[in-house]
Chains A and B, each alone.
Chain A
């Protein structure tokens, strides 16, 4: 059972699927080996408007329902998890701006995405991953400007973004309450990017350091007020986690697709291996996992649509779907046996791609802390 989208949007999804099948799935194999960012594929996708799927209608977007965007994101992830990571990362930066930005900032970032550009969200630092409040990046007021200094790391789209959402401490003595957040456009003097990380998976996404050295931005680049940064960043992550879960669902689904296709063809002891109940049960368990993960994503999106609190559900969706992606990828490899372990077949890549879904956008340990605390409450 796929995401239940309105029938009109099914046609839209079909055309996205065709693009994914013909332009992403096979092509990304080569880039997975080289680690090169497939600019040509992203340019084609940008032309079709895939960078602006989450831009609200009032800022020039197309007004797609969240559930339709989720179905599209799952297709992207089924084709290649690095691809969906790139798109999701742009939308992560966009979410921060939509949550905390001024009207002008919102319009500017929406325009950039609608024009086919990318965005990046810079919160993580070498000593501030899960412990995001331990940020060393500073922003010092100087007249009508702020001067940013510091280093962000593991920034998706770091080397290809047109705009960056950057958190920095405006008052270290206040701890997380001293964190502020800025929109910085690419090309701003003092902002540079480091080497592209040589990653285990999602190799078609760009990940690198973003460095600020006396990077001057106008005071109007700040979103909200001084001290609002941590709150905006956390709200952003709360929302975007569901979308990361959505990508994980796509990987988990691909793991089933590949295992079933192979298992029908592969004959041992005179019959296709999927005639064995042991493997049918494996497929059943994979399906149970992917479907429950998908419906958890759908549920979190429904809560967002309804304007209801969704932090816990978003964390569950991300955490569970991330675990499911890894489990399904492992099972898919097991079903393909030695071939599953070979790079000639697509499933070992799924495992390498899936692993990050337990790590980024808040590790699954952080998600469990969020979920646990929300259930237990203060006592």
Chain B
């Protein structure tokens, strides 16, 4: 099967982000990395390819700065990489539209399964995968933990609050991936060096026959009104009464005061 994995670069989520004086997060010194959920998607796609044949293409929207991320994908299972040279994508729907158009040009053959991370670790809208399927008129299975081919289509384990359910879809289709029970592979020295020499295809919006009025600023359906840091965790209250009965009385007082009971 021909597999496409859509990836996004995000600020390294292991680094503590601070807010600048202008109220925006300070991201300049934080190295961009491939969104964690997209790395799960790529690993799942790579394993699917290794088990069933086919090839994996990775696709992203971004300038030259996106090339290292694509190369890192090439070193851990992707066969081809493509980026859409476009900076002014407005919102998740615009992103989904541009990706949908690019997905028609990014591969040598039409894709059977399009993988997306279930969400990004920066904006975390969780919309792109589903909207991509909607734009392409394809079935979508969200929150996928595992998948395998079945009757020309796929059978996927979809995560639920209680466990998982098995959902099937015909190909082509879109799947959004959550954390499976394995970690993405590490690149070997050899694969890392080989990835340096692999080409990264570039598409413009025009190449993808994408209409700027559908992904540019004027197409925005949602706008960010404000951005703020999460509130600092308040320090707890220590109950240090010597007698247990006294401590319980104090705890009850606090809970009543907070209208918790």
Nearest to A47 among chain B residues (CB) is B188
In the complex, which residues of chain B have a beta carbon less than 8 angstroms from the beta carbon of A47? 188
State whether the Cβ of A12 lies closer than 8 Å to any Cβ in chain B.
Answer: yes
State whether the Cβ of B149 lies closer than 8 Å to any Cβ in chain A.
Answer: no
Known contacts A8-B196, A12-B193, A62-B193, A49 near B68 by CB under 8 Å: no
In the complex, which residues of chain B have a beta carbon less than 8 angstroms from the beta carbon of A11? 68, 71-72, 192
Contacting B at CB under 8 A, from A1-48, are 8, 11-12, 15-16, 18-19, 23, 44, 47-48
Chain B interface extent, by class: 10 to 19
State whether the Cβ of A50 lies closer than 8 Å to any Cβ in chain B.
Answer: yes
* Complex Cα spacing A49 to B72, Å: 17
* Complex Cα spacing A23 to B75, Å: 19
In the complex, which residues of chain B have a beta carbon less than 8 angstroms from the beta carbon of A19? 186
* Total A-B contacts with CB atoms under 8 angstroms apart: 33
Contact of B188 among A18, A49, A64 (CB under 8 A): A49
Chain A nearest CB: distance from B191 CB in Å?
8
Chain B nearest CB: distance from A209 CB in Å?
33
Q: Could you tell me the dominant secondary structure of chain B's interface residues?
A: helix
State whether the Cβ of A160 lies closer than 8 Å to any Cβ in chain B.
Answer: no
Chain B nearest CB: distance from A58 CB in Å?
16
State whether the Cβ of A217 lies closer than 8 Å to any Cβ in chain B.
Answer: no
Chain A interface extent, by class: 10 to 19
Chain A nearest CB: distance from B215 CB in Å?
31
Nearest to A8 among chain B residues (CB) is B196
* Complex Cα spacing A343 to B188, Å: 33
* Pairwise interchain contact B196-A62, C-beta atoms closer than 8 A: no
State whether the Cβ of A53 lies closer than 8 Å to any Cβ in chain B.
Answer: yes
In the complex, which residues of chain A have a beta carbon less than 8 angstroms from the beta carbon of B192? 11-12, 15
* Complex Cα spacing A15 to B189, Å: 9
* Complex Cα spacing A278 to B11, Å: 37
Q: Which of B72, B187, B190 counts the most chain A CB atoms within 10 A?
A: B187
Chain A nearest CB: distance from B214 CB in Å?
35
Nearest to B189 among chain A residues (CB) is A49
Chain B nearest CB: distance from A282 CB in Å?
27
* Complex Cα spacing A211 to B186, Å: 38
In the complex, which residues of chain A have a beta carbon less than 8 angstroms from the beta carbon of B72? 11, 15
Contacting B at CB under 8 A, from A273-306, are none
Contact of B186 among A18, A62, A64 (CB under 8 A): A18
* Complex Cα spacing A16 to B191, Å: 13
* Complex Cα spacing A281 to B75, Å: 43
Nearest to A49 among chain B residues (CB) is B189
Which 9 pairs between the two chains have the least Cβ-Cβ distance?
A: A49-B189, A48-B188, A49-B188, A15-B187, A19-B186, A12-B192, A49-B190, A48-B186, A62-B193
Q: A residues within 8 Å of B by Cβ?
A: 8, 11-12, 15-16, 18-19, 23, 44, 47-50, 52-53, 62, 64
A44-B186, A49-B190, A62-B193 known; 16 other A-B pairs, CB under 8 Å? A8-B196, A11-B71, A12-B192, A15-B75, A15-B186, A15-B192, A16-B189, A18-B186, A23-B186, A47-B188, A48-B186, A48-B187, A48-B188, A49-B188, A62-B189, A64-B189
